[in-house]
Amino acid sequence: MKNQIIDHLFRYHSGKMVSVLTRIFGLQHLETIEDAVQDTFIQASLSWRHKIPENPEAWLIKAAKNRTLDIFRKLKSEEERNFKFTSGLSGITLNDLFLEHEIEDSQLRMIFTACHPILDSRDRIAFALKTVSGFSIREIASALLTKEETIKKRLARSRKEIVAKNISFTIPQGIELSKRLHTVMEVIYLIFNEGFHSVKKDEIIRKELCGEALRLCKMVLQKESIRTSETYALFALLCFHASRLEAKTNGSNELLNLKEQDRTLWYKPLIETGNIAMDKALSLSQELSFYHIEAAIASEHLKAKTFEETNWAKILFWYQCLEKLDPSPSTFLNMAVVCLQLQQIEEAKKFLEKFSPSHLGPRGYLYHGTMADYYLCKSDVVSAKKELKKAIELAPNASEKKYLLKKTEVL
């Protein structure tokens, strides 16, 4: 239980602490800062061995402040000892920087720094997940579908590039802001996706990651100068998906598809929040982005009181719109699924022929699962079982495998 609490606090507070300390010491000391924050949580795990403090968050803030002074002494810099910040905010005291609104400002600076165009696009996402959201190297590798050693190299390359190019720890303005905001949203979307449908072996849903994505997106929206129609649409999408989290699995932690889910468990306040965000998005601009269309699709599912009442024709229309913006294997797969629901069997096959399972990375099992549904629509049970067998072999976690095995057993 104690370790779970520390893990939870690390997830939600390490990014905050790294961001604030970076604002104080500068990006050139980022590696030292990350080590210091890691030390703080190690200290917590030792100090809390017998008893967790009444206010763990306050304990961590105090420990972070003390660690700040330790870093001052370590760096032996008179400038930093006198709190002369590269951002020019020399009037802000150490205590002030740990106030909630200043922490959020520091985190926004970190998000936009991580998404700087000087950095390689793949490096940006890994760097943001590490510094802003406290992902471990293993978790980043899982989220980005790559090797841990590759992630280590990307992080090292980012830190080196930031120092070499003297990147400033600021929120950009004008045209540069809109360019970088796109990557910021991509990172938030990726964090949520890993939580909503994880590729970890032992977890199908990671609610803390979904919550972190919602928090980061909300934080972006709270800054008036960086709000856009697209960011509101992203927030709406995350709210719509998050509203179904409690219904995605049963009491035995088994995966449930949309048809099996108890729709009374869908969380209405989050749906309403998503609707408000979507209205705001459309009031700012009628131009539809990837996030607008994805949110529209999610909304159609939420409108249906039962699975049978789902407006599949409308959903197909939205996917056709999405295909023009994002003709990706994932889009083709979803279009095939919708076509099968509409009994457009051969049309579904055409979409499945546009890509191969390898294009979906660790989610290649979804291709075979959809192919199984295609064969079932054609009453070809033998071929359906073969595809399900392939899907089971490729499924990344136990919950997915169990779901597919059950499907095989009823054939």
Angle between helices 329-341 and 345-352 (to 10 degrees): 170
Instruction: Please tell me the predicted confidence (pLDDT) of residue 96.
Output: 66
Which pair of tokens denotes residue 2? 């104690």
Q: Angle at Cα 228 formed by Cα 223 and Cα 229, nearest 5°? A: 140
Question: Please, are residues 205 and 194 in contact by the beta-carbon 8 Å criterion?
Answer: no
Amino acid at 153: K
Domain spanning 314-411: which CATH class is it, in words? mainly alpha
Question: Please, are residues 134 and 113 in contact by the beta-carbon 8 Å criterion?
Answer: no
Which pair of tokens denotes residue 269? 């306040």
The closest of 140, 152, 74, 129 to 21, measured between CA atoms, is: 74
Question: Please, are residues 44 and 66 in contact by the beta-carbon 8 Å criterion?
Answer: no
Question: Please, are residues 404 and 384 in contact by the beta-carbon 8 Å criterion?
Answer: no
Instruction: Please tell me the predicted confidence (pLDDT) of residue 78.
Output: 46
Map tokens 């913006």 to a residue: 325
Q: Which residues of the chain have pLDDT under 50?
A: 78, 80-91
Nearest-angstrom CA–CA distance, 178 and 228: 9
Distance of CA 338 to the CA centre of its chain: 25
Largest CA distance in the chain: 77
Instruction: Please tell me the predicted confidence (pLDDT) of residue 323.
Output: 96
Reported residue count of the chain is: 411
Helix (H) or strand (E) holding 281: helix 268-284
Contacts of 357 (CB under 8 A, 6+ apart): 364, 365, 367, 368, 394
C-alpha count within 13 angstroms, C-beta hemisphere, residue 178: 5
Assign 3-class secondary structure to 335-404.
Answer: HHHHHHHCCCHHHHHHHHCCCCHHHHHHHCHHHHHHHHHHHHHCCCHHHHHHHHHHHHHHCCCHHHHHHH
**What is the residue extent of each domain of the chain?**
314-411
Question: Please, are residues 274 and 243 in contact by the beta-carbon 8 Å criterion?
Answer: yes
Instruction: Please tell me the predicted confidence (pLDDT) of residue 332.
Output: 97
Question: Hey, is 23 helix, strand or coil?
Answer: helix
Q: Angle at Cα 227 formed by Cα 226 and Cα 232, nearest 5°? A: 145
Amino acid at 25: F
Nearest-angstrom CA–CA distance, 13 and 107: 11
Instruction: Please tell me the predicted confidence (pLDDT) of residue 187.
Output: 83
| Alpha helix segments (H runs only) across 76-206 | 78-81, 94-97, 100-114, 121-131, 137-143, 148-164, 174-196
Instruction: Please tell me the predicted confidence (pLDDT) of residue 311.
Output: 98
Q: Which of the 8 DSSP states describes residue 265?
A: G
Instruction: Please tell me the predicted confidence (pLDDT) of residue 145.
Output: 67
Instruction: Please tell me the predicted confidence (pLDDT) of residue 83.
Output: 47
**pTM of the entire predicted model:** 0.83
